[in-house]
Amino acid sequence: MHSLPFAIPSATCGSIFDPARLHRELEAIGKKLEDPALWSNPAVSQPLMRDRKRLEQLIADDDALVSRLGDIEAYFELAKEGAEEVLPDLELAMQSLREFCEALEAKTMLSGETDPLNAIVTVHPGAGGTESQDWAEMLMRMYLRWAEQGGYKVEMNDLQDGDEAGIKSATFTVSGEYAFGLLAGESGVHRLVRISPFDSAKRRHTSFASVYVSPEIDDTIEVIIRDGDLRIDTYRSGGKGGQHVNTTDSAVRMTHLPTGIVVTCQNERSQIKNRDKAMKMLRSRLYEYELAKKRAITKDIEDAKLEINFGSQIRSYVLQPYRIAKDHRTKVEVGDVDKVLDGYLEPFLRGFLLMKRRGTAPASDSADDLDI
């Protein structure tokens, strides 16, 4: 007979979610949103819409948790009566509940001001030409698959194809609840070890690609950009050709002169739309830049342990001589590296959030630690 590793509430999970309070708050927000004058002020209506969506999700999570616990309780009752054929279903239900609870736990650790915002993700290959460019495209696909599986919306802002394979750079926006809070820990250098498909001698290669994640700043967070601090260049969008190739100078490159931050957007056919998106991207980059400066001034020793520098190696994906994906900060390992590259990032995202909550981070592993 199996035994549960946790107690089953008899009726409700209200001690966790307090559904009565959530419903009251949701009703209060609904009444505010009934005011037609509210919609002419996005600075007020947008935060209310986000709050409504957050409360609806919390209520749905509570309902799902109660339902899952009820299913497991029913399976146990059947098993106690001798229906052993339900045991495989019980195992699956318990594993599903465990993963669901881990996801809920991760949400409770997302309390930063920018955690609920959309994420702007930029992927760049390291040195190494085609090999690194192919790895950068694999990383981009990994995040796109994670977003797709999680129900997030993805919009490609800028994509530069590689010379032979892969990509030279990619910037895309992941839209959805807590996208930035979940992906923030992915900033850093990612390493791939494999037998290169581009090497006729079938030798093992190590490739690097960098990932940078910043929050998409909305109108509720003020970032002042003076006109004199901007240089805006337009150019003809690149692409793979064909009947839809862009023949106008609609692509936009913005350079923030005081910081040297550069953003580009070329995926819209309209220069105005590309300009608007580039400005959003620039505001997000500047916000993260200013936060990094503040952290550099005020962080103590423990903060320094947690700080993720853009040039630091945070994770390795080893396909040869053995197969494993390992995070060097949290020590989280997943043996099914193909599943990770297909978007299974939950163990790494949760591990980073737990590390932040503890306020400590182990030292990074070296290449020798991985025996490669």
**pLDDT score of 95:** 87
Number of domains in the chain: 3
Query: Do residue 136 and residue 279 come from a single domain?
Result: no
Residue ranges making up the domain that contains 81: 14-108
Secondary structure string (H, E, C) spanning the chain: CCCCCCCCCCCCCHHHHCHHHHHHHHHHHHHHHCCHHHHHCHHHHHHHHHHHHHHHHHHHHHHHHHHHHHHHHHHHHHHHCCCHHHHHHHHHHHHHHHHHHHHHHHHHCCCCCCCCCCEEEEEEECCCCHHHHHHHHHHHHHHHHHHHHCCCEEEEEEEEECCCCCEEEEEEEEECCCHHHHHHHHCEEEEEEEECCCCCCCCEEEEEEEEEEEECCCCCCCCCCCHHHEEEEEECCCCCCCCCCCCCCCEEEEEECCCCEEEEECCCCCHHHHHHHHHHHHHHHHHHHHHHHHHHHHCCHHHHHHCCCCCCEEEEEECCCCCEEEECCCCCEECCHHHHHCCCCHHHHHHHHHHHHHCCCCCCCCCHHHCC
Spans of the chain, pLDDT less than 70: 1-17, 218-222, 238-248, 294-312, 360-372
The residue from 260, 275, 298 where one domain ends is 298
pTM: 0.63
* CATH number, residue 127: 3.30.70.1660
**pLDDT score of 158:** 92
Whether 6 maps to a domain, the answer reads: no
**pLDDT score of 314:** 94
Query: Do residue 170 and residue 203 come from a single domain?
Result: yes
The residue from 108, 135, 168 where one domain ends is 108
* CATH number, residue 37: 1.20.58.410
**pLDDT score of 360:** 53
Query: Do residue 62 and residue 188 come from a single domain?
Result: no
Whether 99 maps to a domain, the answer reads: yes
The residue from 298, 328, 348 where one domain ends is 298
**pLDDT score of 323:** 95
**What does the pLDDT look like over 312-345, one tens digit per residue?**
689 999 998 899 999 999 999 999 999 999 999 9
**pLDDT score of 112:** 79
**What does the pLDDT look like over 58-93, one tens digit per residue?**
888 889 889 999 999 998 888 888 888 888 888 898
* CATH number, residue 266: 3.30.160.20
